Structure 1
Amino acid sequence: MILQRPVSMLHICRLSSPPKLFSPFKPSSLSSSSSCIRISQSWLIQPNRSRIRSFGAATATAAAATTTATSATATADKKGGGTFFAEDSVTWTSLGISFRLSQALSNMGLQRPSLIQAACIPDILSRNDVVVAAETGSGKTHGYLVPLIDKLCEANAEADQETNQPHRLGLVLCPNVMLCEQVVRMANSLCDDNGERLLNVGAVCGRQGWPADEPDIIVSTPAALLNYLYAIDQERRRHFNFIRGVKYVVFDEADMLLCGSFQNQVIRLINMFRFDEKLLSRPKSSMEEKASDSTTDTPMHVEIEDYKDLQTDVIQEEDEKADGVTDVEVQTEETEAGLNKRKDWKRVRKIYERSKQYIFVAATLPLNGKKTAGGVLKQMFPDASWVSGNYLHHHNPRLEQKWVEVTVDTQVDALINAVNQGSQALDSGDGLKRTMVFANTVEAVEAVAKILLGAGIECFRYHSDSSLQERTKNLVEFRQKGGVLVCTDAAARGLDIPNVFHVIQAEFATSAVDFLHRVGRTARAGQHGLVTSLYTESNRALVGAVHQAGILDEPVEKVFSRKRGFRNKLKKRGISKVGGDTLSVGERMMA
């Protein structure tokens, strides 16, 4: 059932399952004339057409809070008008944000919400679990920080009136220290008319320990938080108080946190928070029975002891899921076997009163497969509300793209020309010129930086081999002074560097995720941007497919594979035999 609303460009759509963000791979979408595949120094012009994507209705606050998935439509012209901000009639207060916080947002220059903020804030305020998937630079960070701060400010006001109210905490998990510090800066920049912070926000990551002042929001990496909870707090008492106090959990860059090396840590944390929800919702009869089992242990002591056994329980749960055993079957088997009734309540995982809210935020969220981030979320949070951006996994209409085919002999000159030409055309709005140059490896970054320095072009470096202090210093100087930042994909995800007008791919991205995050460093927050992609003969088919996806208004993911290179995918599909130069950009440039 589709409910029409008076706000143009926005609709609400009630769905029985999360929206399908990706369409299936169609070999026919890659078939085109040779002119579409052989692209050299051609400008990508976005078609002037209506776009339909999942999005949220900003003004229908009450309805948005009850929908399972939120959808909206935006019509973009070639200049990108109407692709970032919500309508003039949509204000922070109309979304349910308090006047005090609305004023703080206005004081820092955020006069009106973006489309994605207007879409997700009502759902987050409603205490639903929410999945926010939207293109880079759409305002997702404030999209979750604003309602989170609003609810915690309200909770603090209630706690001031009632002294027995426990202190409520918000937790934001990020994949790296740089992103943690960025979120802290953004949250602490929200101040009242007297210049005082609305909340105390602190980071627990890197060399930063637990904040001295009682925080309202903790921003941390999964590893740092687990280390604090287990390695430092041997008695588990701080562990217990922290888990009990956290009422809102945000997973920023959720696709990264739910896959790869982060997955086990994040799943473990989710299970810890759900375990606490079960403790709080345990029936009174079970509490009485548990208390009668031990005449010496107090309820608080027993609950802390339960936390000590949590790691074993989590491992058992994961083994049962792997074996395909359902929750009901586990409970029945335990009952029939006459196992300890004291632990039966732990096995009822789906029937318990919720006391925490989970929010997942990502700029790329693959759904095709149970092991992808989207697949994991569908399994673990089937009732979550999904909000997705108009241009999720698509070309940004405010982005102008230039494609330049190069050879070993022409690549260095093409790179230098791209940096010089882009600098001449830059209009960042703050008087500074900023260009980001991406390469695939640390060695390639060093090679590119050496070439630019040899041509008299000053540049900063950013890659994983640099120390955290050096990366931080280079980012600060790049923000303050402008110039050229040569980097790997470590700088492509999450970092909000204002007014980057030009992005250059010295080496073409090898996955849809990398491509979307790279080009998303520019054309942010309603601004326009330029991307210049250098590619070789070996990338020609991939570049043609990406270009074709923009013309056909199709998702970029369709022509990539998250787990393997495009060449392998083409071989498997039997579409094209891709050959050519296999040297890395560093080897080619240093040849």
Structure 2
Amino acid sequence: MANGLSGDDGEPLLRVAAVCGRQVLDALIIFYGWSVDKPDIIVSTPAALLNNIEPKKGRRVDFIRGVKYVVFDEADMLLNGSFQNQVIRLINMLRFDEKQLSQMNKSGAEKLMEKTNDSLPNSDSEDEQYLQNDDTAEREENSESDVDVDVGDLTEETKSGSIQKKDWRRLRKSYERSKQYIFVAATLPVNGKKTAGAVLKHMFPDATWVSGNYLHCHNPRLKEKWIEVTVDTQVDALINAVKERFVCGTDISRTMVFANTVEAVEAVAKILETAGIECYRYHKDHSLEERANNLVNFREKGGVFVCTDAAARGIDIPNVSHVIQADFATSAVDFLHRVGRTARAGQYGLVTSLYTESNQDLVDAIRQAGKLGQPVETAFSRKRSFRNKLKKRGSSKVRGTSTVEMVTV
């Protein structure tokens, strides 16, 4: 999309590069030559960016010093799970550069910290300690000074370019910002010390928070249908739901069907194809090329798109008219992202949720919030309690997280 922005003369307004793998990284270096013809915007996964800048010390310093704006899309996902450590490391690299620039400007010592190849904070920074051990982080926070450190007070070893951990902690408190950080998310839980929202509040206590009127709420343009199913009734309910056409915006009908696992997606697709309903598949076991082609075909031709939660975020397909949960979402957050695929940009949409007795507590919490016109946040932190209730009901009712996996055709 960024590459498509052009001026009146037809020339691109920005140079944009996508970084998402070693082969792409090599091509990026060859074609863009970071030291010669730098792109204005880099769109990257955290791991790909770290793999590129960390092995090459000179490239790392030049790159970080040149960054002015940092946008984290799907921030709640990036600050949780497998992405978390990588994102925290990137943020610490960028903030450390800010602190160095701030100290340089205050002291006038332009050459003080030119060589920072080995000086960037390691993964045992305050932010990661906060995530790993709240008590330890709190003791360190209380024991550290809030006073700015004059450059003249730094050790000789620091001046030579190797910043000690204690110096990093002394420098971090007060400094002039030279980069802007923007975190964007459709769901951003704040309950609990290790949720994405809480982590952001800890890392950026002075940040400005901006939210829409319907954050964590049901979209008022959504029509919702709730259907309780059993192993005996779920196949018929699924087929009937898919056959219910709900057209919005254009005369093309687009239906997205969500399942919780790759195996469940394949099972749903087999059920639909046996019933004479053609569909596209989308999950991690398909190649990038296959997924891209299926997305293009679904966008242009419409039809039925069976997918995992890999398609619940970051994919903008205009005029999706119907979202069906063949498997009910395992959390309120996933539920909101799934239903957010329809009723976008002022359009209307239909959501049909199939659920079993094992999903009842989560379904009740979400529906109650909708009836009261309240955010679904009360169900965010209850995922663990829901799971505990499921375990008590017996493994026979909740084997795995997918109901469709139990269907044989």
1:315 aligns to 2:124 (yes or no):
yes
Structure 1 partner of 2:35: none
1:353 aligns with 2:353: no
Q: Are the structure 2 counterparts of residues 531 and 578 from structure 1 closer, same or farther at C-alpha, using a change threshold of 3 Å? A: farther
Deviation at 1:283, TM superposition (A): 4.4
1:410 and 1:389 map into 2 onto residues whose CA distance is 39
CA distance in 2, matches of 1:510, 1:565: 12
Whole-angstrom CA distance in 1 between matches of 2:220 and 2:268: 29
Q: 1:453 aligns with which of 273, 280, 284?
A: 273
Is residue 2:332 matched to residue 1:516?
A: no
Q: 2 CA distance for matches of 1:446 and 1:479?
A: 21
Indicate yes or no: 2:45 matched with 1:240: no
Q: Describe how 1:164-179 pairs up with structure 2 within 5 A.
A: none
Q: Secondary structure at the match of 1:503?
A: strand
Aligned to 2:42: 218
1:316 deviation in Å?
5.3
Q: Does the C-alpha gap of structure 1 residues 428 and 453 become closer, same or farther in structure 2, counting only changes over 3 Å?
A: farther
Query: Aligned runs of 1:30-109 on 2, under 5 Å?
Result: none
Matched, 1:441 2:271: no
Residue 418, structure 1, aligned to residue 241, structure 2: yes
1:404-435, Cα deviation, whole Å (9 max, x unpaired): 122222111111111111x2x32342x32210
Cα distance change on mapping 1:331 and 1:448 into 2, 3 Å = same
Query: Is the aligned partner of 1:199 residue 2:14?
Result: yes
Tell me the secondary structure at the aligned position of residue 534 of structure 1: strand
Q: Distance in 2 between matches of 1:441 and 1:398?
A: 29
Q: How far, CA to CA, are the matches of 1:238 and 1:387 in structure 2? A: 34
Tell me what 1:134 maps to.
none
1:479 and 1:497 in contact (8 A); partners too = yes
Say yes or no: does 1:259 pair with 2:70.
Answer: no
**Equivalent residue of 2:24, what SS?**
coil
Q: 2: CA distance between counterparts of 1:509 and 1:416?
A: 19
The answer on 1:303 being equivalent to 2:118 is: no
1:565–1:530 CA distance, 2 compared to 1 (3 A):
farther
The counterpart of 2:215, out of the listed 389, 392, 396, is 392
Two-structure CA RMSD over aligned residues (Å): 2.8
Q: Partner amino acid for 1:585? A: T
Q: Are 1:364 and 2:364 an aligned pair?
A: no
- Tell me which residue corresponds to 2:52: 228
Distance 1:320 1:505, change over 3 A: closer
Counterpart residue type for residue 393 of structure 1: H
The equivalent position to 2:309 in structure 1, one of 472, 485, 489, is 489
Partner residue, 2:287 = 467
SS of alignment partner, residue 533 of structure 1: strand
Task: For residue 311 of structure 1, report the CA deviation from its aligned partner.
Answer: 4.2
Partners of 1:473 and 1:250 in 2: how far apart? 28
Q: How many Å separate the matches in 2 of 1:208 and 1:420?
A: 41
Contact 2:391 2:398 in 1 (8 A): no
Equivalent position of 2:403 in the other structure: 585
- In the TM superposition, what is the alpha-carbon distance from 1:547 to its structure 2 partner? 1.6
8 Å Cα contact 2:279/2:304 also seen in 1: yes
Aligned equivalents of 1:327, 1:241: Cα separation in 2: 34
Aligned residue type for 1:432:
I
Calculate the TM-score normalised by the size of structure 2. 0.85
The amino acid across from 1:590 in the alignment is T
Report the AA paired with residue 518 of structure 1. Answer: R
Q: CA deviation at 1:205?
A: 1.0
Describe the SS at the equivalent of 2:173: coil
Percent identity over the alignment is: 65
Amino acid at match of 2:53: L
Tell me by how many angstroms 1:540 deviates.
3.0
Q: What are the equivalent positions in structure 2 for 1:365-380 lying under 5 Å apart?
A: 365-380=188-203
The one-character-per-residue Cα deviations of 1:485-533 (angstroms, maximum 9, x if unpaired) are 1011111012111110100000111101110000000001111100011
Q: 1:410 to 1:392 in 2, by over 3 A?
A: same
1:327/1:348 contact within 8 Å kept: no
Cα distance change on mapping 1:349 and 1:560 into 2, 3 Å: closer
Render the CA deviation track for 1:77-125: whole Å, top value 9, x for unaligned: xxxxxxxxxxxxxxxxxxxxxxxxxxxxxxxxxxxxxxxxxxxxxxxxx
1:239, CA displacement in angstroms? 1.6
The one of 368, 371, 375 equivalent to 1:551 is 371
Deviation at 1:257, TM superposition (A): 0.9
Q: In structure 2, the residue corresponding to 1:202 is in which secondary structure?
A: strand
* Deviation at residue 330 of structure 1 after TM alignment: 6.1
SS across alignment from 1:386: coil
TM-score (norm 1): 0.60
Q: Does structure 1 residue 274 correspond to structure 2 residue 84?
A: no
Following the alignment from structure 2 to structure 1, what is the Cα–Cα distance between the partners of residues 374 and 395?
26
Amino acid at match of 1:208: V
**Residue type of the partner of 2:74?**
E
* Contact residue 283 and residue 308 of structure 2 kept, 8 A: yes
Distance in 2, matches of 1:311 and 1:564, equals 34
Q: What is the CA distance between 1:262 and its match in structure 2?
A: 0.9
Shift of 1:465: 1.6
Output one character per residue of 1:524-581: Cα deviation in whole Å (capped at 9) or x when no partner: 1111100011112222343233222111112223235475362426899xxxx79983
Q: 1:20-70: CA deviations, max 9, x gaps?
A: xxxxxxxxxxxxxxxxxxxxxxxxxxxxxxxxxxxxxxxxxxxxxxxxxxx
Aligned mates of 2:341, 2:179 — CA distance in 1: 33
1:367 & 1:205 partners in 2: Cα distance? Answer: 30
Q: Provide the C-alpha distance between the structure 1 equivalents of 2:394 and 2:369, rounded to a whole number of angstroms.
A: 19
CA distance in 1, matches of 2:70, 2:195: 20
Any idea what SS the aligned residue of 2:140 has? coil
CA-CA distance at 1:457 after TM superposition:
0.7
Q: Do the aligned partners of residues 410 and 551 (structure 1) sit closer, same or farther apart at CA in structure 2, a change above 3 Å counting? A: same
CA distance in 1, matches of 2:323, 2:86: 33
In 1, the alpha carbon distance for the partners of 2:396 and 2:4 equals 50
